[in-house]
Chains A and B, each alone.
Chain A
Amino acid sequence: MNGHVTATRSIRRRLIVRLLASAAILAVILFLVVQSFGRQLAQESQDNILAASVTSVLDAITVQDGALIVDIPYSAFSMLGNISDDRVFYRIEQNQVYLTGYEDLPFTTARSTKSQPAFATDHYLGEDIRLVTASRKLSLNNQPSVVRATIAQTRNGQKQTLRQISQTVLFLGIGFFAIAMVLTFYAAQSTIGPLRRLAASVSRRGPQDLRPVESPVPSEMVPLVRSLNQFIGRLKKSLSQSEEFIAEAAHRVRTPLATVRMQAEVTLRRVERDENREALREMIRAIDESSRAAGQLLDHAMVTFRTDHLLVETFDFRVLVDELVTRLRPIAELKEIDLRWQKGAPLLIKGDAILIQNAVRNLIDNAIKYSPTESSIKLTLSQDRSGAILQLMDQGIGFPDEGFELLTDRFVRGANAHDTIGSGLGLTIADDVANAHGGCLELKNNAEGVGACVIFYLPLR
């Protein structure tokens, strides 16, 4: 039985998708974080130079003869020129009165009174600028004077640095993502590994293999494997219970029957009166019928049960038939029936030997049963291109003209067979076994008019 299992999305794909999504998110976060950090650093470095520049300007302011001397050092501007090709603007004022520089240069008033430089970003002459404003208190003519210097620089160098940072970080992000992708595939593959190995090892098992799964598995799979093993255990127990039940049933039914039969035979020998003898004979016949019925029921149960998990092996069909013929010949001889069988060439087939033996035994048994004394039953084994053919021809009563198809139904016996002891399961068993192997059972009456011909066909798989 091949149960159809619905597959939802593959674990491996889910794992890969989720890992890649996480990697992508991380890459984006990395990009944003590093870029903002880089931006901050670049800003700081420009600011530091600006601060150094404005400090050097303020340091160069002196008071001489009651006048303010502003002697801008060359380095104050050249240091700005050294780091980038940006334009430079400046403005110096005393007590908020313009002294020198670009008069309309914007400046910032934030924190500049505490003689700590204050930074701001602004706009001048059509460009973005970064400016620093710092002030210094001096004493001039015994009056306090505040000198405020503002130095500004365009941000082209900044922007270029940022562009470079962005580019580098982008490559970094992409590189990181690419590596993450490779690692993801590898990780997904190796994570799924135990699952695949378990699946492979379980599917490699034959139909009869009911050993528990013992190979070590990752902790997440332990509950699954434990349940699987419990299931296997239950199945195993159920199977063996069924087998034991059948064996037990057979024993329990047959042993008392055997006893009764023996006793009946013994009594029959002692009894003289005809009607008593007849009664005893009836009893024995009934016992035989129950016994045979029980036997066939158990056979049939076993066959049905076993066709779900055929134990397929390669064996010589000819040897199997030969053994059966040897076994059943004494029975045939009891009725003076000649069991004719030519042991020919070996014929290898693949199938469940026990079931096939059972089926063939039932067919031969049937033939013996329905053949009159001193007749012959002929068995031939041959093969064609695709299968093995076992043919039984008897000289018995043959099959009824109607109801052929039904003969293989359970408990159906031919309309012409009601005098003979039988339960009607023999053909059913043979038919089931043939079908389980992909073959078939063919029933017909002999062309010569006497007896039946049964063809048991098994494909040479």
Chain B
Amino acid sequence: MRHLLFALTLGLFPTLGFSFEVDKRQLFMAEPGSQILKVISTADLDLFAGVIDVFQSRYPSVSVDYYEVGSTELVKALIEDGAQFDLAVSSAMDLQTKLANDGMALPFRSEFTTQLPDWAHWQDLVFAFTQEPAALVFSARDFDDQSVPKTRQELIEFMRSHPMQFKNRVGTYDIRSSGLGYLFATQDARTSETYWRLAEVMGNMNAQLYCCSGKMIEDVSSGKLAFAYNVLGSYAAAQITNQDDIIIVEPSDFTTLMLRSALIPKNAKQPQLAGQFIDHLLSFSLEAGKAGDFPFPTLQRDVLEQETALRPIRLGPGLMVYLDRLKRKNFLNAWENAILQKP
């Protein structure tokens, strides 16, 4: 199997007539004249490329046209622009759920989908294929394995007792612009009161707000930040070349698990191919021995039965609550009041 790589790495790439913004795009070509699977995704292209390669080794006659976008742009593309895609992959679980709820997804069933536990799919519309923990990423300069805080409460106390160390050196998502950040924040707030206290304390430290995880992790690694809150642990691990610069902690009071999910948009031209790709994504979690090839943490089917702090976010209509505009307005107000300290 051979394929030609057309690296069309572009910056802001307005597709013809559409208004949504594309961060990266790559066409993984198989034979000429083969079928093309159009994928719109929030996952990093570099990380995802390996997955596509394995797919194409199995289905050599399928080309993949991969669009990397932000989570809100993904929704804009499908709803406002009505762009045609065969597969939509996103880490914004709430937005995926809303798309499916609004009738934008096609149902899909297969041997693999029936094996998924209840929390890993919503109806036959949205399918989770990873479970990625929201972690605390600490700079190795400020902490070591013993001293590093393991719970949010410990973190709060640490910050209160070392204000000088942390001033201007704590970071988290700007949830006004980051869908994932908003999701994590609302889930935290739902789960525990500690979140608001933590937010306040971080506000007191003049928390740095980031739109995306890459920059945030870099700053921790370089020491600019002492820690970053609610970072995707898998991203951190993947991104950092020198593992010694950071310490990734999954909080032991509770660790929220984000489930990256895929759905087949209503106007897909290749729904069967999309289904095959979904099965491919699921196979890493459901077939033995394939987890090692996967750039993301695979699903643990029995995660709820285990006595761990891991708590997967449930795919379901509950996620739509925080998308409600009034609710969102209230939440953002409260969040701003906590995190943004008026000088």
A127 and B325 contacting across the interface, CB-CB below 8 Å = no
B318 and A74 contacting across the interface, CB-CB below 8 Å = yes
Minimal Cβ-Cβ distance residue in A for B317: A88
| Any B CB within 8 A of the CB of A345 | no
A81 and B317 contacting across the interface, CB-CB below 8 Å = yes
B104 to chain A, nearest CB (A): 10
Q: Which A residues are in CB contact (< 8 Å) with B317?
A: 77-78, 80-81, 87-88
Interface string of B101-123 (1 = CB under 8 A from A): 11100000000000000000011
Q: Which A residues are in CB contact (< 8 Å) with B324?
A: 70, 72, 90, 100-101
Interface string of A66-90 (1 = CB under 8 A from B): 0001111111111011100111111
A83 to chain B, nearest CB (A): 11
Binding site of B, secondary structure by majority: helix, strand, loop or mixed? helix
Minimal Cβ-Cβ distance residue in A for B123: A85
| Any B CB within 8 A of the CB of A99 | yes
| Any A CB within 8 A of the CB of B190 | yes
Q: Which B residues are in CB contact (< 8 Å) with A449?
A: none
Given A78-B314, A81-B316, A100-B326 in contact, is the A72-B321 Cβ separation under 8 Å?
yes
Docked Cα-Cα span, A77 to B317, in Å, equals 6
B81 to chain A, nearest CB (A): 19
Q: Which A residues are in CB contact (< 8 Å) with B102?
A: 125
Q: Which B residues are in CB contact (< 8 Å) with A81?
A: 314, 316-318
| Any B CB within 8 A of the CB of A126 | yes
Docked Cα-Cα span, A74 to B323, in Å, equals 11
What band does the interface of chain B fall in when counting residues whose beta carbon is under 8 Å from A? Answer: 10 to 19
Q: Which B residues are in CB contact (< 8 Å) with A78?
A: 314, 316-318, 321
Minimal Cβ-Cβ distance residue in A for B319: A77
B321 and A76 contacting across the interface, CB-CB below 8 Å = yes
Minimal Cβ-Cβ distance residue in B for A68: B326
Q: How many A-B residue pairs have CB under 8 A?
A: 60
Minimal Cβ-Cβ distance residue in A for B105: A87
A127 and B330 contacting across the interface, CB-CB below 8 Å = no
B292 to chain A, nearest CB (A): 33
Docked Cα-Cα span, A88 to B319, in Å, equals 11
Docked Cα-Cα span, A33 to B325, in Å, equals 46
A166 to chain B, nearest CB (A): 22
A99 and B318 contacting across the interface, CB-CB below 8 Å = no
Docked Cα-Cα span, A77 to B190, in Å, equals 14
A78 to chain B, nearest CB (A): 3
Given A70-B327, A78-B314, A100-B326 in contact, is the A125-B103 Cβ separation under 8 Å?
yes
List residues of B (111-167) whose CB comes within 8 Å of A's CBs: 122-123
Interface centre among B102, B190, B318, B325 (most CB of A within 10 A): B318
A61 to chain B, nearest CB (A): 10
B321 and A126 contacting across the interface, CB-CB below 8 Å = no
A106 to chain B, nearest CB (A): 15
Docked Cα-Cα span, A280 to B326, in Å, equals 150
A261 to chain B, nearest CB (A): 118
Docked Cα-Cα span, A351 to B103, in Å, equals 98
A77 and B103 contacting across the interface, CB-CB below 8 Å = no
Minimal Cβ-Cβ distance residue in A for B122: A85
3 tightest A-B CB contacts, nearest first: A78-B318, A81-B316, A88-B317
Write the residues of chain B forming the contact surface with A, with a CB cutoff of 8 angstroms.
Answer: 100-103, 122-123, 190, 314, 316-318, 320-322, 324-327, 330
Q: A89-B101, A92-B326 are in contact. List 8 more A-B contacts (CB 8 A).
A: A72-B327, A74-B321, A75-B318, A77-B317, A81-B316, A85-B122, A87-B100, A125-B103
Write the residues of chain A forming the contact surface with B, with a CB cutoff of 8 angstroms.
Answer: 69-78, 80-82, 85-90, 92, 99-101, 125-127, 156
A–B complex contacts, Cβ < 8 Å, 22 sampled: A70-B324, A71-B327, A72-B321, A72-B327, A73-B321, A74-B321, A74-B322, A75-B318, A77-B317, A77-B318, A77-B321, A78-B318, A81-B314, A85-B122, A87-B317, A88-B101, A100-B324, A100-B327, A101-B324, A126-B103, A127-B103, A156-B123
